[in-house]
């Protein structure tokens, strides 16, 4: 079996941390900023950052529609924090008109931006994660939560009574940042399904 080629969307957000985590999980990882780079990967990670800024940059770099097409065609993806927001079918509190986050519609879910609060409300917690035998230490920074999931979406983790990790087919999303810890199990789960 060949090593999977996983891109990390490198327009804004914590790209380096995801690249390192993917390499440790056994993938060939590279940055994606251009259409040819998106076309060259088997799967994509959409990192944390700011979802409205990422939407604006996806448009500027002419990646928004090609990314939607790749996802609709079944490209595996993983999104953390802002990446989770963008992978949703519906975004609540999407931002100011003309600067709103634009959903990629890869997971049948409704996500609320900044649901856990502002930057000062950031926190860490150990959460149970389906498929892992011990809890994951989760870092939440201006994190979203999932308010609704469709019938084909598997809930993988919750914090404070809210859904914070989901999977639909080969698309995974977390509202927290596993790339910021030394625990590579979530990245490994993603890479192993490719």
Handedness of CA 55, 140, 147, 15 (dihedral sign): positive
Q: Could you say which of 17, 18, 56, 81 is catalytic?
A: 81
Q: Could you say which of 18, 56, 179, 187 is catalytic?
A: 179
Residues near 154 by Cβ (< 8 Å), separated by ≥ 6? Answer: 130, 166, 167, 168
Q: Could you say which of 17, 18, 56, 177 is catalytic?
A: 177
State the Cα–Cα distance between residues 114 and 100, nearest whole angstrom: 13
**Are the CB atoms for 166 and 151 separated by under 8 Å?**
no
Residue 37 annotated among the catalytic residues of the structure: no
Q: Is 184 helix (H, G, I), strand (E, B) or coil?
A: coil
Burial 29-68 (b: 16+ CB within 10 A, else e): bebbbeeebbeebebbbbbbbbbbbbbbbbeebebbeebb
Residue 81 annotated among the catalytic residues of the structure: yes
Residue 179 annotated among the catalytic residues of the structure: yes
Active site residues: 81, 177, 179
């Amino acid at each position: 079996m060949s090593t999977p080629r996983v891109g990390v969307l490198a327009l804004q957000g914590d790209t380096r941390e995801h690249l390192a985590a993917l390499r440790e999980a056994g993938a060939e990882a590279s940055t994606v900023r251009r259409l040819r780079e998106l076309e060259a990967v088997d799967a994509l990670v959409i990192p944390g950052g700011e979802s409205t800024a990422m939407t604006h940059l996806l448009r500027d770099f002419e990646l928004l529609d090609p990314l939607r097409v790749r996802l609709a065609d079944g490209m595996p993806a993983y999104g953390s924090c802002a990446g989770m927001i963008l992978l949703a079918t519906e975004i609540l509190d999407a931002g100011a008109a003309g600067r709103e986050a634009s959903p990629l519609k890869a997971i049948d879910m409704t996500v609320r931006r900044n649901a856990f609060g502002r930057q000062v409300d950031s926190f860490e917690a150990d959460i149970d994660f389906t498929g892992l035998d011990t809890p994951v230490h989760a870092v939440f920074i201006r994190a979203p939560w999932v308010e609704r999931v469709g019938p084909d979406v598997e809930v993988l983790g919750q914090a404070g009574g809210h859904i914070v990790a989901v999977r639909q087919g080969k698309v995974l999303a977390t509202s927290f940042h596993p790339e910021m810890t030394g625990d590579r199990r979530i990245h490994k789960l993603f890479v192993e399904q490719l």
